[in-house]
Amino acid sequence: MKAKLLSSHIISLTFQSKSSKSAANTIQYVLHTSLLTLKMKFINAPLLLFAIILKPNNYGGVVVNAQKMIREKISNHNQNDNRRTTTTTNHDNRFFVKFKKPDESNNSTSTLMASPTGYRLQKDDPRLIMELPDDDIEVMTIETEDELRFWENLDNVEYVEADSKIYLQQGGESTPWGINKVKALGVSDANVYNQKVCIIDTGYDVNHPDLPSSVTGTSQISGESWKEDGYGHGTHVAGTIAAIGGNNKGVVGVNRNGQLKLHIVKVFNNNGDWTYTSDLIKAVESCVTAGSTVVNMSLGGGGFVRAEKEAYDRVYNQKGVLLVASSGNNGSSARSFPASYPAVISVGAVGSTNRRASFSQYNDQVDICAPGVAVRSTIPGGRYRKLDGTSMSSPHVAGVAALVWSHFPNKNAAEIRQALESSARDLGTVGRDNEYGHGLVQADLAYNYLLSGGGGGGGGGPNPAPVPAPTPKCIDSPLGWHD
């Protein structure tokens, strides 16, 4: 028998034999030997491809592809394998596998390689859940500790970590007073057509009469359109950002002329169930691709995920997109993610008396606060509802960011963030503190901060002084109902 390495993952075995029967016996021996090797190192890992070639002779030639036989034997072995699954709180065994750049990995022939950039799952492999190409990450199912160690030990893999679950940050029911509290009406929204806010949530009621209808979007939920919102959370968030003013209907959003561009990414189903961190990263990247300038994430949970942090660092620092998220509703000092990543503005909630809401999480990552108690906004079916939660405070900040940015389109994301935080109304302890961050977001003061030259260069000149939009007439709808 002669053996030679054809590539980093294909071996050619050449036999000189007088009968196909003896050759078949030899093949079985090779298969058995291969299985032992796989059992020791690569159980449940992607299989080596063995092409076993019987060299033609006087008795004729036979070519056998052993790949299918190996897969079947491995599959049968795995069905009888009683080893426990990976010791992790990730009950669905979903993991990020972050790959090194090609020049950072060891491309020696002793390392399994399926391409010049290193060994990876094939696109049709059932374990591959999704790819995040901008971050050089594959999200996959890893069932056993042996397989986890296999991926961790590959030369072209930088790290492996669990994919955690993300939840909506919503409290109980309750009405809108926050637009005036953040002084949104003190800044003209005449230029908001140059901004696009991406809302990652449960969807959007595109037929709501008090919401913009020229909206783009995508759904990451199979069988559910982004234009439907069975849970109502995303539609409520959208109303705070962009409900139409001056139409004698319902409520007024931070940006109220109907010209703010919206992009919707539906990551929660119509029951408002959880989603994965990897789905959230994919959603943020979808926002970037759609040309969004601001991303609102009224959601959170899980823990620190390196892949997520690196993705948001890149989106904020390199793509220039402002990321805003709710600080969390546990009423504790625990950190909630994605809000607690440095590249994300973490928004806490306050009530009408400017005191921190009891449910609002407080920690050293809270950057700013906004109304989050009894916030009235749009819900599906042309209706309105009062809700509590840091989910309600985050869109106030996202909306103000877009409103202020629209007057200074040449500013970058970091400068807009600096303007919001530097001009916030100080609450609690003097200066920044863990309960309120830099304070209550103020649209007019942020505008004036940039108008006076704050935030560095790149402004390109402001527009004329803001003109408040007309206050809509208050009517009872339905008749007999009133605030």
Catalytic annotation, residues: 201, 233, 391
Helix axes 443-451, 413-422, angle to 10 degrees: 120
User: In whole angstroms, how far apart are CA 279 and each of 131, 168, 286, 305, 375?
Assistant: 10, 14, 10, 13, 28
Q: How far apart are CA 335 and CA 353, in angstroms?
A: 25
Give CA torsion, residues 323, 265, 218, 223, to 10 deg.
Answer: 160
User: Dihedrals φ, ψ of 280, to 5°?
Assistant: -70, -45
Q: Which two tokens stand for residue 330?
A: 């546990």
Is beta strand 2-5 parallel, antiparallel or unpaired with respect to 383-387? unpaired
Q: How many angstroms separate the Cα of 353 from the Cα of each of 370, 376, 420, 440, 480?
A: 12, 17, 21, 11, 29
Query: Could you count the other beta carbons within 10 Å of the beta carbon of residue 273?
Result: 13
**Cα–Cα distance for residue pair 373/94, rounded to 1 Å:** 36
**Helices 277-289 + 306-317 axis angle, to 10:** 10
Nearest partner of 258 among 269, 266, 247, judged by Cα: 247
